[in-house]
Amino acid sequence: MSNNILDVMHETAKGLADAGVMDVQTMRKFDALCLPEVEQYGASEKEATYAAAKAVADKPLVIPNLTAC
């Protein structure tokens, strides 16, 4: 069995919500339980990501000439 118990419970809750037996607020609580952990990044990791994004943004955008086909 590849699903853990939380996955099975979430699928069951989704079925109940889809059938109108469970309200939206309760379903949101089940959804929140299944969210992945948020990764925390340090200053150096943030700076490296920003620098990489800036390097890509500084390159000129090349649009191919599609009318030559």
Tens digit of pLDDT per residue, the chain (69 long)? 456 888 888 899 999 999 999 999 999 998 988 888 889 999 999 999 999 999 888 888 788 887 765
Dist CA 49 CA 43 (whole Å): 10
Q: What is the pTM of this model?
A: 0.49
Examine residue 30 and state whether it is found in any structural domain, yes or no.
yes
The answer to whether residue 43 sits within a structural domain is no
Burial class (CB in 10 A: 0-12, 13-18, 19+), 55: exposed
Pairwise CA distance, residues 14 & 28, whole Å: 10
Asked if residue 29 is part of any domain, the answer here is yes
The answer to whether residue 28 sits within a structural domain is yes
Domain that holds residue 7: 1-35
